[in-house]
Amino acid sequence: MGRRVSIAEAAQLLRSHDKILILCHRSPDGDTLGSGYGLLHTLQALGKTARVDCADVIAERYSYMFPQEVSDFEPEYVVAVDVADPKLLGANEELWGDKVDLCIDHHGSNRDYAANLLLEADSAAACEVLYLVAKELGVEITPLIADCFYTGIATDTGCFRYSNTSVRTHRIAAELMELGCHFQKINQLMFETKSRSQLAVEAEAMATLEYHYSDRCAMITLTRDMVELNGASDDETEGLAALPRQIEGVWIGVTIKQMKDRTGYKFSLRSTEEADASAIAAKLGGGGHARAAGCSVKGDLLFARQAVLTAIAEHMGWEEEKVD
Amino acid sequence: MGRRVSIAEAAQLLRSHDKILILCHRSPDGDTLGSGYGLLHTLQALGKTARVDCADVIAERYSYMFPQEVSDFEPEYVVAVDVADPKLLGANEELWGDKVDLCIDHHGSNRDYAANLLLEADSAAACEVLYLVAKELGVEITPLIADCFYTGIATDTGCFRYSNTSVRTHRIAAELMELGCHFQKINQLMFETKSRSQLAVEAEAMATLEYHYSDRCAMITLTRDMVELNGASDDETEGLAALPRQIEGVWIGVTIKQMKDRTGYKFSLRSTEEADASAIAAKLGGGGHARAAGCSVKGDLLFARQAVLTAIAEHMGWEEEKVD
C-alpha cells in the first residue's frame, strides 16, 4: 500500500527530484503516451533530466509527441503514468515494477503498487490528471505539451463521445485549445486514418454479417485467415466487437473471432437494455457485464455459430434458430 | 438586405412577439432540429405559443426533442433557424420564403433574405447561437432544451472532431452537461447507430476498393443498384466520400457514384496536402476546394474510372495507369 497523494503533493515530489524515468504501459495508447511525454516536456521545462520508456514499440502516428532526442542517464526517481498494475509495464516490470516512486493514474482498479499514488478515478483520462499536475508545477504549457495532453483526453473518450466524458473534460479541452494544441491534426491522425490492413479486415468481416431472430441479433465472423492474410494486427480488429450491436433495431450483437490456434472461437457479445449479455455468455461458461460480455467454445465455425444462437434463444425465451 | 441584429436584439424581438412559427431547413439534420426545438421549448417556457415546421420528414432518431403535441395557430412571427437560403426551406419556401422575420444562422454564405439576421459565422453550429439567445431570454434551460442544443453542436462538429470546433464549443458543451443534457444517449443515437441499409451499402462499396499509383490513390465505386437494391437513402451514402482518403498513405481519395438516371458518374475527390483536388476536378469540368472537390462524366463505369485516373496522372505528373 502506497501513500495517497494530492495533485499538489505529486507536484512537490516531482519538483524535489531529478533524473526522472517515466514509464508508460505496454501496448501504448494515446493516454499513456500523452501522459508520459506531456510530463517529460513539463519536467524538461523545469530544467530536469528525464526520459520516457515503454516496453513496446510506439506507433508512428504518435511521433509528434517526441520531437527531441532521448537522453540517457541512471534514473533516481521513477514515475508510472496511466499504469494500473505493474504487470502492464510489460518487459519493464522486472526491472522497475517494485521500484515505482510515484504513480499517476485514473483507473479505479489501480493495484496501489507505487510508493506514492495520485489516483483520480473519475477522470476520463490520465492526461486530465497530468494536466492539473503540470499547471500546479507552474511551467508554461507549450503547444507541444498541450498536444500531448489533448491526445490522451481525445483518445480515451473516443473524441468526447463515451460516457466517461465529463464537464471538466470539455473545460480542459477548451483550455488546451487556448494553449495552442493542434486538435485538428491530432483528431485527423487518431480518428480519421485507417491502415489498409484494418480496412481490408473490416470489409471482409462485415461481408459475413448475418441476422437472426427477426433481426434482433446481428453476428459477424472474423477468421484467422482474414486477420493473417491481410497482415492485420489484433488491435486493428478490436473496433469490430462494437459493430453488430450498432445496427438499428439490433438488441444483441455478436462478433465471433477464431482463436489464434484455430481450435475454436471467441464471442464478443454486446447488448441493448433488452438483453443481458453476461447471462448469455454465462451459458457458454463466460461472463462480463450486462451490456458487454464474452465467452468461447472449442470446435468448428458451424458449431460455434449454433452454440451462441442456442444460448441467445434460451436466455430470451425465443424459439431456437438453426444455422445452415 | 435585412437588418443585422445582435444576440440581445434577437432575444428582444422574440420577447415582443407571440404565435411564432419556427422553420427548419429541408433534409433536416441535428443542428436545424436542435435549433428549432430548443427555441420552441425556450419560447414555451416564456408562455408563448409556437411550433416548429420542416418541409421534409424528420428521422425517428431525433424524436426525443419533441415529446409534446404540436399546437396549431396562425403565425404572427416567423423565425428560420440554420437556414442559409430560402431555397433550403423546400416546400415551405413558397409560403414563407419572403416572410421570414428573423433568421438565426451560422453559415457565412447566408443569403440575407430575412427582415432581421442574427449571423455568427464563426460558430460551429446554429445551436451555439441559439443557446446564447436562450440564455439571454433568461429562461431556465431544462435538460430537454440542453438536449436539443447539444444535439446540434455534437452533430455539426462530428462530436468535437472537425476543425469548426472552437474553445467556445467545448465550454458550451460543458455548460449543457451541467444543465443535465443526456449527452451519452445522444452520442449513441447520433454516432453509434447505423441502419441496415446503410451498413449494406457501405460494405458493398468498400468491397470495390481499388488502389492506383503505388497506393497514393484509393477509389471506391457506388452504383445505383447498390443504393436501390439495399433500400438506402442518398444521405446514408454521404459518409462514403471521406473514406478512401482516410486510408494511411493515400493522397487522393476518389468516390465514384453513379448518377440517378444512370447516364454517367459523379466523382467526390478528397486529398491531402500533396495533391489539389480542385485542380483534378477542373480537368473534368468540375471544381471545389483544394482538399475536397467534385466533377462528373457521362458514360459507362470503365470510361469514368479511366477519366479520373487520367486527370490524376496529368495533375500529379505521373505516368498514366490503365484500368482493366
Could you tell me the domains of chain B?
Answer: 3-191 (3.90.1640.10), 196-316 (3.10.310.30)
Q: Are strands A292-298 and A264-271 parallel, antiparallel or unpaired?
A: antiparallel
pLDDT of residue B146 exceeding 80, the answer is yes
**Residue B80 near residue B14 (C-beta atoms within 8 A):** no
Of the candidates B170, B199, B211, the beta carbon closest to that of A174 is on B170
Of the candidates B167, B191, B248, the beta carbon closest to that of A161 is on B191
Residues B285, B304: Cα–Cα separation, whole Å: 13
Average pLDDT over residues B120-140: 97
A contact test, residue of B189, B226, B248, B291 with most A CBs within 10 A? B248
Residues B222, B217: Cα–Cα separation, whole Å: 17
Q: What are phi and psi of A161, to 5 degrees?
A: -100, -35
Tell me the CA distances in angstroms from A152 to A21, A168, B29, B62, one per residue in order.
19, 14, 30, 31
Residue A319 pLDDT grade (very low, low, confident, very high; cuts 50, 70, 90): very high
The count of residues in chain A is 324
**Which has the higher per-residue pLDDT, B163 or A265?**
A265
Q: Give the chain B residue whose CA is nearest to the CA of A181.
A: B167
Beta strands in B240-291 (DSSP E): 252-258, 264-271, 287-288
Contacts with B247 from chain A: Cβ below 8 Å: 193-196, 199
In Å, how far from its chain's centre is CA B135?
Answer: 25
Residue type present at position A181? C
**Which has the higher per-residue pLDDT, A247 or A109?**
A247
pTM of the model: 0.85
**Which has the higher per-residue pLDDT, B75 or B287?**
B75
ipTM for the whole predicted complex goes beyond 0.90: no
B contact test, residue of A128, A156, A159, A162 with most B CBs within 10 A? A159
Q: What is the pLDDT of residues A59-110, one digit of tens each?
A: 888 999 998 777 889 999 999 999 999 999 999 999 999 999 999 999 988 9
For chain A, the average pLDDT equals 94
From A169's Cα to the closest Cα of chain B, the distance in A is 8
Instruction: Give the strand order in the sheet containing B77-81.
Output: B3-4, B116-119, B102-105, B77-81, B20-23, B50-53
Q: Give the chain B residue whose CA is nearest to the CA of A247.
A: B194
pLDDT of residue A220 exceeding 80, the answer is yes
Quote the pLDDT of residue B320: 95
**Which has the higher per-residue pLDDT, B158 or B263?**
B263
A contact test, residue of B156, B160, B250 with most A CBs within 10 A? B160
Contacts with B191 from chain A: Cβ below 8 Å: 161
B contact test, residue of A201, A233, A248 with most B CBs within 10 A? A248
Percent of chain A with pLDDT over 70: 100
Q: What are phi and psi of B47, to 5 degrees?
A: 85, 10
Beta-bridge partners for A221? A256
> Please, what is the angle between helix A143-156 and helix A30-45, to 10°?
160
CB-facing half-sphere around the CA of B78: CA atoms within 13 A: 21
Of the candidates A167, A178, A242, the beta carbon closest to that of B167 is on A178
Residue B27 pLDDT grade (very low, low, confident, very high; cuts 50, 70, 90): confident
Average pLDDT over residues A173-181: 98
CA proximity to B242, closest of A161, A204, A202, A192: A192
Tell me the CA distances in angstroms from B226 to A218, A255, B231, one per residue in order.
21, 25, 9
Q: Are strands B252-258 and B264-271 parallel, antiparallel or unpaired?
A: antiparallel
Q: Give the chain B residue whose CA is nearest to the CA of A196.
A: B247
pLDDT of residue A210 exceeding 90, the answer is yes
pLDDT of residue B140 exceeding 90, the answer is yes
From A215's Cα to the closest Cα of chain B, the distance in A is 10
Instruction: Give the strand order in the sheet containing A116-119.
Output: A3-4, A116-119, A102-105, A77-81, A20-23, A50-53
Under 8 Å CB pairs connecting chains A and B tally to 93
Percent of chain B with pLDDT over 70: 100
Query: DSSP label at B57?
Result: P
Contacts with B174 from chain A: Cβ below 8 Å: 167-168, 170-171, 174
Block residue for cell numbers 533524473: A19
Residues B119, B123: Cα–Cα separation, whole Å: 9
For chain B, the average pLDDT equals 94
pLDDT of residue A235 exceeding 80, the answer is no
Quote the pLDDT of residue B129: 98
Within a 10 A sphere around the Cβ of B67, how many other Cβ atoms? Answer: 9
Q: Give the chain A residue whose CA is nearest to the CA of B248.
A: A195
Q: Do B161 and A187 touch (CB under 8 A)?
A: yes
Q: Do A196 and B242 touch (CB under 8 A)?
A: no
Tell me the CA distances in angstroms from B34 to A151, A310, B65, one per residue in order.
29, 43, 7
Q: Do B161 and A191 touch (CB under 8 A)?
A: yes
**Residue A230 near residue A207 (C-beta atoms within 8 A):** no
Residue A254, all three cell numbers: 455478436
Residue A127 burial by Cβ neighbours in a 10 Å radius (0-12, 13-18, 19+):
buried
What end-to-end distance do the CA atoms of chain A give, in Å? 55
Residue A196 pLDDT grade (very low, low, confident, very high; cuts 50, 70, 90): confident
pLDDT of residue B147 exceeding 90, the answer is yes
Q: Do A191 and B247 touch (CB under 8 A)?
A: no
Q: Which residues touch B56 (CB under 8 Å, ≥6 apart)?
A: B26, B27, B28, B90
Contacts with A168 from chain B: Cβ below 8 Å: 174
pLDDT of residue A200 exceeding 90, the answer is no
pLDDT of residue A324 exceeding 80, the answer is no
Residues A93, A90: Cα–Cα separation, whole Å: 6
Alpha helices in chain B (DSSP H): 7-15, 30-45, 93-96, 126-137, 143-156, 167-178, 183-191, 196-206, 224-229, 277-282, 301-316
Q: Give the chain A residue whose CA is nearest to the CA of B194.
A: A247
**Which has the higher per-residue pLDDT, A199 or A91?**
A91
Q: Do A170 and B168 touch (CB under 8 A)?
A: no
pLDDT of residue B178 exceeding 90, the answer is yes
pLDDT of residue B187 exceeding 90, the answer is yes
**A-side interface with B, Cβ within 8 Å?**
158-163, 165-168, 170-171, 173-174, 177-178, 183-184, 187, 191-196, 199, 202-203, 206-207, 209, 211, 215, 242, 246-249
Beta-bridge partners for A287? A294
